[in-house]
Amino acid sequence: MQEVDGLKQNRDNLDANKIQYFGHYDNAFRDSTGRDEICEIISFKTKPVFPEIKENQIKSDSEYFVTVAICGYHNVLKLPTETDLAATSEYSKYSPVVIMPHQGQEYKIVADSLQETY
């Protein structure tokens, strides 16, 4: 199946470059633990900047992180269902959510007929 081959190739390339990925070509897919692969939590190192806090009030050696849920809807086989979309609501209770739709074959730069239809 072309989607499986494209997903594996893409994940292998991302793994080789130590880049985190998320999502699956089938939004209903569950891994061996029963967990979906729609969203992943990403943590970014940052420095807090608040006008009311002076620079000397923040420990310079402290590390601060912000978490964001990154959700990928891969519409290769079908559009996301209401259940699929509801998964993002759970994440939004705790952190910002970024939704990234993806549709079509990996590494293709021209829209196919399904993409043009939607």
Residue 78 in any domain: the answer is yes
Residue-by-residue pLDDT tens, the chain, 118 positions: 555 677 788 889 999 998 887 777 777 777 777 777 778 888 888 776 666 666 566 665 667 788 888 888 776 666 777 877 787 888 888 888 888 877 777 677 888 777 777 6
d(CA 70, CA 38): 8
* pLDDT value at residue 13: 93
| Torsion sign (Cα): 105, 28, 85, 89 | negative
Tell me, yes or no, whether 11 lies in a domain.
Answer: no
Q: Encode 80-101: b = buried (16+ Cβ within 10 Å), e = exposed.
A: beeebeebbeebeeeeebeeee
User: Which range marks the domain in which residue 98 is found?
Assistant: 22-104
pLDDT score for 2: 59
Q: How many domains does the chain have?
A: 1
b (16+ CB within 10 A) / e for 15-47: eeeeeeebbbbbbeeeeeeeebbbbeeeeeeee
